[in-house]
Amino acid sequence: MTATVTRRSVLTLGAAAFVTGIVGLPARPAWSAEIADTIKEFTGGAEPQTGRVSIDAPEIAENGNTVPIGISIESPMTSDDYVADVIILAAGNPNPGVATFHFSPMSGEATAQTRMRLAKTQDIVAIAKMSDGSFYMDKRTVKVTIGGCGG
């Protein structure tokens, strides 16, 4: 089974979540304090590991106003070992929170698709919280370009 978030719910999530005024050290040098804080809030300070999470996104957006993004997380999705929550962040947007997905062993597999608006070229970050409390992360750069000169 695949979780799908409608565009409206994405926008709602984006507007409601991840507002924070705390300034901290960024987890990655290129990221803003806001992103670092959002990640910290989600992981409770744990450093996400790489692997297991993969983001499916175009290298260059055809239309920055609606960029298709997919996530999939390797997991047996059993009651002992499953993906609990996944957040997707657009690190360069004025409001970086894009979506949060909740999964359970009943989900069967941890995959989801959504669309997001990207104001400019930036990193898309997906972090998954596993049922054992560990965190995994993937990052993809999506370029937003004026275009028009290929060929």
- List beta partners, residue 139: 125
Per-position x/- string for 52-91, each x denoting binding to another protein as judged by CB under 8 A, each - no binding: ----x-xxxxxx----x-----------------------
Asked if 150 is part of the footprint of another protein (rule: CB under 8 A), the reply reads yes
Asked if 2 is part of the footprint of another protein (rule: CB under 8 A), the reply reads no
SS3 26: coil
Cβ neighbors of 84 (< 8 A, separation 6 or more) are: 102, 103, 104, 128, 129, 130, 131
| In contact, 141 and 28? CB cutoff 8 Å | no
| In contact, 106 and 84? CB cutoff 8 Å | no
Per-position x/- string for 98-137, each x denoting binding to another protein as judged by CB under 8 A, each - no binding: -----------------------x----------------
Asked if 147 is part of the footprint of another protein (rule: CB under 8 A), the reply reads yes
Tokens 């300070």 locate to 45
Between 31 and 42, name the residue whose CB sits nearer to another protein.
31
Asked if 51 is part of the footprint of another protein (rule: CB under 8 A), the reply reads no
Footprint on this chain of another protein (rule: CB under 8 A) = 56, 58-63, 68, 121, 141, 143, 145-151
